[in-house]
Amino acid sequence: MIDGYASIMAQRADIMRASVGLDYTKYETGALAFDYECLLADTGYDIDTARRVQHNTAVGSTPLVELTNITELARAVAAPGKGARIFVKDEAANPSGSFKDRRASLSVHEAGRRGYPGVAAATSGNYGAAVASQAAKAGLRCIVVQEAFDSRGIAQPEIAEKTRACEAYGAEVIRLSVGPELFYVFLCVLKETGYFNASLYTPYSILGIETLGDELAQQVREQAGRFPDIVIATHAGGGNVTGTARGLAKAGAVGTEVVAASVDLSGLHMASDHDFNRKSFTTGHTGFSMPFTTWPDRADVPRNAARALRYMDRFVTVTQGEVFYITEVLAELEGLQRGPAGNTSLAAAFVMAQELEQDRIIVVQETEYTGAGKHPLAQLNLARQLGIDVTRGDPRDNLPGGRIVIPEHPSQLAVVDVDLDGVRRSYIRHAIDSLAAGEQLNDVDFTFLADETRTHRHYVEDIVNEVHGKT
C-alpha cells in the first residue's frame, strides 16, 4: 500500500467523497441532524427507476412461495385456532442467489453511469458475490475485500464459499485476517484504483431494497387479497429492514408490522481473533445488528442510509440451533434448501405464526442460495473442531461460542424480544457522545433524534437530561 495507516485515515473523508460521488456535508442540518430523505431523493432513483435498472440485469421479480407444510407444522404445535399462514419471498432466484443483488444493481449502475473504471466492496457475505455478479454484467472491474480468517489461517466455511463465488464472477478478492486493518486496506484500494465504493450503506444500496418490499406487498395482495400482517427481515447492518419497510410503505402496506430478527451471538466480539470463528453465522446476528441499530453511522460512509430503528416495530432474536433446525425443516418439508440468513427470519416466523389466528399472514422477506460452505454441517463441523459442544435439547441452553443446542421438537422454538426502549436510549447516548467539544443540540437535532428513534421530542429531551444529570 502506498501510504501509512495514519496518512490514509487522515484522507478518509476525501477518499470517500471521491469514491461515492456524494458530498454528505450538503445534507447536514444540525450538530447531529442531516436531511435523510433529501439524501435518498437526490440520487434520482425512485422505485420505478430502480425496478427498471434491476429488470435489465434479471434482478427482482422473484417468486412468493406459501410454505403450506411448515404452516401445518406450526398449527400442530400451536393452540387451537392459531397458526398464521407463512409465506417466503424466494430471493435465491436472483442472479447471485440473494436479495443483495438488489442492493448491488443500483450501485453498479451508478458506477457505470458516472464513468468509474470499477467497483469495490468490503464484505465477507453475499454482497460481495452480488457486486461481482452485477459488475460482470456491466463490464466493470471488481475488487472485494474480505475479513476471511483468524490468525491461524482458519477460514469460516461460509466466507470461503463467498470467496469462491466472487472469484467465479471474475472479481479480485483480497482476503484479510480479522482485525482493524480492513477499513484501512479498503481505503487504500479505493484511493489506488479510483473505483466506486459499492458500500452496503449508501443511498443506492438502500433504494435497491425498496423494490423488494414493494414487490412483496403486491404479490401478497394478489395471492391472498390483502397486504401481509407481518413481514420479518433478518437484521444485521440495517439495510434489509430499512429498504423493505420503505418499500412496503410505498406499496401502501402501511399497516404491516415490520419485525427484525437476528441470531443471538451475545458475548462474542466480532473483531476478536478468538471469537471470529466461534460464531456460526457471518451475518444476521447480534454482533452486527446491535451495534448498527444503536449507532448506524459506524459505517464506511459518513452517513449511513440504513437506519433500521426508524422502521422496526419489533426486534427479536433466535438461537443458532433453532436456525439450523428450521433450515432442515425447510428442506425436508418444503423441498427448499436455502442458506442461513433468510432462515433466521423463518425460525422467528415459525414461532410468531403460533401467536396469531390462522387467517393472518406472515412473510419471511428473503431467502439466500445455499452451498457447501453455507450448509449447517459445514458450520457445525467447524464448531466441533473448535471445541464447541453441539447437542440436541432445549435451545434456551445455547451459549454463543461454547454450546450450540439444536431443538429436539418444533415446540421448543421460541423468540426473545429485544427491549427497543433500551436500544433507543443507547442510540441517543451514542449520538450525544459523538458531539464535538462544546457542541450543543438545537431544535433540528431534537426532531431528528425523535425521527431516528420513532419517539417524540420529550422522550429525547428526558434521555439527554439523564445523560447530563439534569431533571
Closest CA to 378 of 390, 363, 366, 368: 390
Name the 3-class secondary structure at 83: coil
Task: Give the pLDDT of residue 95.
Answer: 98
- Between β-strands 416-417 and 314-318, what pairing exists: parallel, antiparallel or unpaired? antiparallel
Q: Is the dihedral of CA 262, 265, 268, 274 positive or negative?
A: negative
* All residues at 6 or more sequence positions from 230 whose CB lies less than 8 Å from its CB, including other chains: 84, 256, 257, 258, 259, 349, 352, 356, 360, 361, 362, 363
For 71-92, what is each residue's pLDDT tens digit?
999 999 999 999 999 999 999 9
- Between β-strands 172-177 and 141-149, what pairing exists: parallel, antiparallel or unpaired? parallel
Helices in 169-296 by DSSP H: which ranges? 181-193, 203-224, 239-251, 286-294
Residues in the chain: 471
Task: Give the pLDDT of residue 1.
Answer: 44
For 151-198, what is each residue's pLDDT tens digit?
999 998 999 999 999 999 999 999 999 987 899 999 999 999 999 999
* The residue to which cell 439524501 is assigned: 39
Main-chain phi, psi angles of 314, to 5 degrees: -155, 150
Tell me if 434 sits within 8 A of 441, measured CB to CB. Answer: no
For 209-243, what is each residue's pLDDT tens digit?
999 999 999 999 999 999 999 999 999 999 999 99
Q: ∠156-161-162 over CA atoms, to 5°?
A: 100
Cross-strand partners of 316? 261, 417
Tell me if 135 sits within 8 A of 112, measured CB to CB. Answer: no
User: What pTM was computed for the model?
Assistant: 0.96
Closest CA to 128 of 173, 71, 84: 173
Report the alpha-carbon distance of residue 434 to residue 427 in Å, rounded: 11
For 390-428, what is each residue's pLDDT tens digit?
999 999 999 999 999 999 999 999 999 999 999 999 999
Q: Which three cell numbers stand for residue 168?
A: 467465479
Which uninterrupted H or E stretch holds 72? Answer: helix 68-77
Task: Give the pLDDT of residue 2.
Answer: 55
Residue 319's identity, in one-letter code, is: T
Report the alpha-carbon distance of residue 345 to residue 175 in Å, rounded: 29
* The residue to which cell 473504471 is assigned: 117
Stretch among 1-10, 78-87, 201-210, 304-313 having the lowest mean pLDDT: 1-10
